[in-house]
Amino acid sequence: MKKIIILSIAIGILSLASFAAPKFKKMRKFPPNDDIEKKIDSLLALMTLEEKVGQMVQYNGFWDVTGPSPKGGNAEKKYEHLRKGWVGSMLTVRGTEEVRAVQKIVTEESRLGIPLIIGFDVIHGYKTLSPIPLAEAASWDLEAIKKSAEVAAAEAAASGINWTFAPMVDISRDPRWGRVMEGAGEDPYLGSKIAKARVTGFQGNDLSNPLTVAACAKHFAGYGFAEAGREYNKADIGTVTLHNMVLPPFKASAEAGARTFMTGFNELNGIPVTGNDYLLRDILKKEWGFDGFVISDWASIEEMLTWGYTKDRASTAVRAAEAGVDMDMEGNIYMEELANMVRTGKVKEEIVDEAVRRILRVKFELGLFEDPYKYCDPEREKEVIGNPEHIEAVKDMAKKSIVLLKNENNLLPLKKKEQTIALIGPLADENNSPLGSWRLGSDDSTGVSLKTGLEKYSNNKIEYTQGVKLITNQAEFTKELHINTTDTSGFEEAKEVAKNADVVIMALGEHGFLSGEGRSRTKLDLPGLQQELLEEVYKVNKNVVLVLQNGRPLTINWAEKNIPAIVEAWQLGSQSGNAIAEVLYGDYNPSGKLPMTFPRSVGQIPIYYNHKRTGRPVDPAPGEEQVFWSHYIDEENAPLYPFGFGLSYTEFAYKNLQLAKKEIKKNETLKLSVEVSNTGNYDGREVVQLYIRDLYGSIIRPVKELKGFELIPLKKGETKTVTFELGPKELGFYNEQGNYLVEPGEFQVFIGGSSETSLEDSFFMVE
């Protein structure tokens, strides 16, 4: 028996001899019919321990940093490790030349020539930028979102990249947290649909297609629940919230075939997620059968030490590897500690082998072993990047992401002729801020500003003044608000310009860099002097359209009360100004719906629509003195704008909610339908939303949960019947052990154009 084993190993090694030589060209001689697992077996058999650990190492390139900078000039060390084949991946290396350069070193100079997988944060586009992900989520348009990911993938892949650190699928209920701009908002159902759209958009159906990239669902898991919305903070949540709210979009990503997952910086209930066997091994790798690989976040392995979870670097490396982190992002801890830990028996070599197998698997799937330079064609790079089709796609996405929050007296759409429009605000002539955060691959100041968009759009007279200044000076920029807090000298001119205008457009909000990683806020008002400016201008002209550009929900109570028209225009990417102009002039009728609740006050946070009811939910009758119910004494419970809310220039009416049955069995599916009519004066698109409420259960269920939606175009005067189905997948929930239960009982259903819809009915589920 022993002999047979030795013999087969020898045969394996012999058959590999042809590609064991250092050069990439020889690597191609994998037996053509062998499947990927066999190829991995043969390669693993040739690798030294250092080479294996090396595959688990990701280094940042020598150019951009997205985390704390590596100390000192360590480029030489990185080059040396590349030459030795001790590096499996690099991040933020981009452009066909840069990528070719590093790929050449590993494939031609290292012993086995294993190509690198090249990762990059392609978050909302590469060069041609889409809206920030939160804005895209507001479109509820899964096809458009998928298309946007396809565009991003094509441009990134043409520029040498084969792996994006996206989608970020962290559910968050806390707009103080700057990274809400990167996700799909607060709802796990919508978040799961969008996760799937993004993963399939990035990866297509064939990873070896040179216009696709591997996706990475991040940050696994719970990062969006950072306490107090403070970046990198702990996240204490119960298992019910974990399973029902946090994990679904990750599960959807795994089911959609996301080839990689990233852990987060956070701990979850006392255990850093980067060292969390339950999440990584039990749920992701076992229960969900995920066979791609897991990368840490930037130095998050090392940070387990800082958290006080591990005692030294060596045991930290062991902890992460055992928990199931396959690759160490720029932490150097696997590189420095792991091989030694294997040698001294502190961690089994099989753990390393398994991690390497996962990494090599994705590299094979990408086709990197056939041609490590397949993403490095400068001709394709020129053709693909900035392609007119891409510009059209991101503009389309941008229009669809806009949410109309208020439109009193039909102030919008604007008249196209003979109007004098005052355009005021620090973000009006901005071509950098609309690009938003996370756009490393694109060039600064390449967005279309609102001013440019409006000027191109009609012959109306545009009178522009900034009102308050934007701070672009780098030194002052770090003060974070980016908008002047002291200088009111522009107010008079703003009022002068506003006074004589037919309509005033106020372009206010947050600079694009005010949200994103490391940008938590304690206040959610308009930063700097913008609120004062708005109030001053309103004094001289009431016809104000507030165009908000921001990366998170804001508390704009005064504006909601006073300003007749409010347009949520987020940070819309390269085509921002063109898209907003088209919507303001009514050539695109806004159809976006909020993917995240807008609070009235920071004190209400966390505020979200799918909350539980409490034992004292009753709002007393007006005038009745009541203290002992779940409320605030200085603010309403209700949000400023609820989840799912968004207006249109037309009106939609809902009627005839029909349930096929009033009683279903546990495994049955209930069919529902509703009639939706466009009763206004414009063609439009409506997001028809279906919510349920499970009235009682072994675990208290939320007051409402989104369980279906459909985006339908409706012409003026048109009526359509929209149908939905509710089955065990929609009607069950996870209990505190993470088991999925479908419990008989009574359910309410609600259908309409927001989470505060009033059309409702109910049915029973029986055993």
| Residues within the interface to ligand BGC (CB under 6 A) | 66-67, 91, 121, 165, 218, 297-298, 517
Antiparallel, parallel or unpaired: β 745-752 and 759-766: antiparallel
Nearest residue (CB) to ligand BGC, 195 versus 342: 195
How many Å apart are CA 246 and CA 703, to the nearest integer? 18
Shortest Cβ 78–ligand BGC spacing (Å): 16
Residues forming a β-bridge with 748 = 693, 762
Nearest residue (CB) to ligand BGC, 61 versus 528: 61
Nearest residue (CB) to ligand BGC, 169 versus 494: 169
Q: Per-residue DSSP letters for 388-430?
A: HHHHHHHHHHHHHH-EEEEEGGG--SPPSSS-EEEEESTTTT-
Active site residues per annotation: 297
Shortest Cβ 320–ligand BGC spacing (Å): 16
Shortest Cβ 218–ligand BGC spacing (Å): 6
Nearest residue (CB) to ligand BGC, 122 versus 687: 122
Half-sphere exposure of 48 (CA within 13 A, CB side): 11
Buried b (16+ CB within 10 A) or exposed e, 30-57: beeeeebeebbbbbbebbeeebbbbbbb
Shortest Cβ 181–ligand BGC spacing (Å): 12
How many Å apart are CA 662 and CA 683, to the nearest integer? 35
Q: Is the peptide bond before 660 cis (omega within 30 degrees of 0)?
A: no
Shortest Cβ 44–ligand BGC spacing (Å): 28
Task: State the virtual CA torsion across 168, 755, 508, 479 in degrees, nearest 10.
Answer: -50
How many Å apart are CA 411 and CA 584, to the nearest integer? 10
Nearest residue (CB) to ligand BGC, 518 versus 620: 518
The one-character DSSP state at 539 is H
In this structure, are residues 356 and 294 in contact, taking their beta carbons and an 8 Å threshold? no
Quote the strand ranges of 10-88, DSSP E: 57-60
Shortest Cβ 220–ligand BGC spacing (Å): 11
Shortest Cβ 118–ligand BGC spacing (Å): 13
Buried b (16+ CB within 10 A) or exposed e, 472-501: eeeeeeeeebbbbeeeeebbeebbebbeeb
Residue facing ligand BGC at closest CB distance: 66
Nearest residue (CB) to ligand BGC, 121 versus 536: 121
* Closest to 80 in 3D by CA, of 112, 102, 97, 65: 102
How many Å apart are CA 88 and CA 109, to the nearest integer? 14
Nearest residue (CB) to ligand BGC, 165 versus 598: 165
